[in-house]
Each structure stands twice: as structure tokens, then as C-alpha cells.
Amino acid sequence: MDLRGKKALVFGGTSGIGLASVIKLRDLGAEVVAISRDPTKAGEIKGVTLLACDVRDKEALAALFARQAPFDVLISAATGGSRAAGPFLQMDLEGYQASFDKLWGYTNCVRLGTEHLSEQGCIVLVSGSPARRAKPGQAALASVGGAVEQFVRAVATEIAPRRINVVSPGVIATPMFGADSPQREKMLSGATAKHLIPRPGTAEEVADGIIFVTCNDYVTGTTIDVDGGWLLS
């Protein structure tokens, strides 16, 4: 894989899956711009431009795309905000609705970014395994992830020859679960104990899936699972 001469924008690119993707893109030769609400939390990333932007702010997002145009790769792993969890019948509905900020952030990126994307460019979004096999307490995650995956399938036909795909991770050991601690390790191990691969995944393993759909010109409108066998467990 060789991305020399390509320019990539990565939203949510200063932590977790987004940061792992940024580093892999850079190492493959791409010019990379990592974007998040607070890029300072990543410190300096050698060879990578860091920018601040909230994917929910359409005016700021449109201005950023115009300044960075043209580009070849658009990736978003940005959560958009908080995500609700727990039994739906006890869930605060405002929290449930706020979970969809992830979807709105994605649609903003695709709607405003595609016009600046090269004709053979690609877009990659990130959903999650609850989209197709939800566990108790994951109604919000499942709803948002399902919407993201259907959005990708629908939009793929409209933006061709540009490509768009989604990568669906399972339980991944990222900062989303807090700092490293015995309690965190116990929670992640318990959540994956019955999976076919009984351990949490890494951000780098998910980033490998993102790189695959970025570089493979024959893949569009599909979902790539990086879930340790979640869907089969």
C-alpha cells in the first residue's frame, strides 16, 4: 500500500481509532490532517497537521473543507458528543437523542466534504457491532450504528465513482473506556470473554480495516467488521 501524493483528512484523529488511522496513513506516505474538538490532547504528532473543528458546526466545517481542498481521503471516527447506554425504558430520551450527534457529524462531513474530494477519492466512517447485534443496554448505540451503515449504503450509489465504506469495530481498548487500570482491564475482559477471539481489540487493528477500504479501489457501500467474532458469539 502506497499513499504518497494523497491527502487525507481524519476527524476524531487525535485519539483512539482515529489517531491510529492517522499514524498508519502518515506511515504510508499520505499528507495527513488530524482534526478534533481539542487537538492539543494528542500533543505533537510528527509529520501531521493538527486542526480544531467540531463536526456539528456546519459553518466551521464547510470553511475547513474549503481551506484544505482538494483531498483524496475523508475519514471520520468522531463520536460527535456523548452516547447513552443502559436499559431503554429507563433511559433519558434527551440522552438517546444526543447519541445521534455521531450520525449528524458524519452526515455533515459527507455532505460538505464530498464536493472537495477527488474523483477517485474515498470516505470511511465508523459504526459499531451493536448496529447488527445489540446486547442489553445498547439500544442507542444500535440505533445510531444502524443508521450510519444504512446511510453509507444509500449514499454510495449517489457519489460514485467516489467510494464510501464503514468499518464496524467490536469492543476496542481505547481511551473511551478510561485510563488503564485493573478495573478497566476486568471490564474489557468480561465484555469479550464469550467472543470467538476472547479479548478486546486494539485501535491499530481497527485502523487496519480503515486502511483496507481506503486503499482497495474495488470496495464501496459495504461494512467491514473488526469485532473479534462479536456477531457470531
Q: Which of 99, 93, 177, 89 is nearest to 131 (CA)?
A: 99
Backbone angles phi, psi at 223, to 5 degrees: -115, 130
Higher pLDDT, 40 or 151: 151
Per the DSSP assignment, residues forming a β-bridge with 51 are 35
Q: Say yes or no to pLDDT of 179 above 90.
A: no
- pLDDT the model gives residue 185: 82
- pLDDT the model gives residue 202: 95
Confidence class for position 174, pLDDT limits 50, 70, 90 = confident
Quick one: average pLDDT of 7-20? 96
Tell me the Ramachandran region of residue 197: left when phi exceeds 0, alpha when psi lies from -120 to 50, beta otherwise.
beta
Is residue 46 helix, strand or coil? coil
Q: Say yes or no to pLDDT of 175 above 80.
A: no
- pLDDT the model gives residue 100: 94
**Whole-prediction pTM value?**
0.94
CA separation for the pair 18, 102 (Å, rounded): 14
- pLDDT the model gives residue 81: 73
8 A C-beta contact, residue 8 and residue 30: yes
Sign for the CA dihedral angle at 175, 179, 181, 183 comes to negative
Quick one: average pLDDT of 214-228? 97
Cell triple for 191? 465484555
Confidence class for position 176, pLDDT limits 50, 70, 90 = low
CA separation for the pair 230, 207 (Å, rounded): 18
Quick one: average pLDDT of 187-215? 94
For the chain, which domains are there?
A: 7-226 (3.40.50.720)
CA separation for the pair 228, 233 (Å, rounded): 9
Q: What is the pLDDT of residues 40-94, one digit of tens each?
A: 888 889 999 999 999 999 999 999 999 999 999 999 999 877 788 899 999 999 9
- pLDDT the model gives residue 123: 98
Quick one: average pLDDT of 1-16? 94
Find cell 484544505 and name the residue. Answer: 68
Q: Which of 75, 69, 71, 86 is nearest to 121 (CA)?
A: 71
- pLDDT the model gives residue 178: 64
Backbone angles phi, psi at 150, to 5 degrees: -70, -35
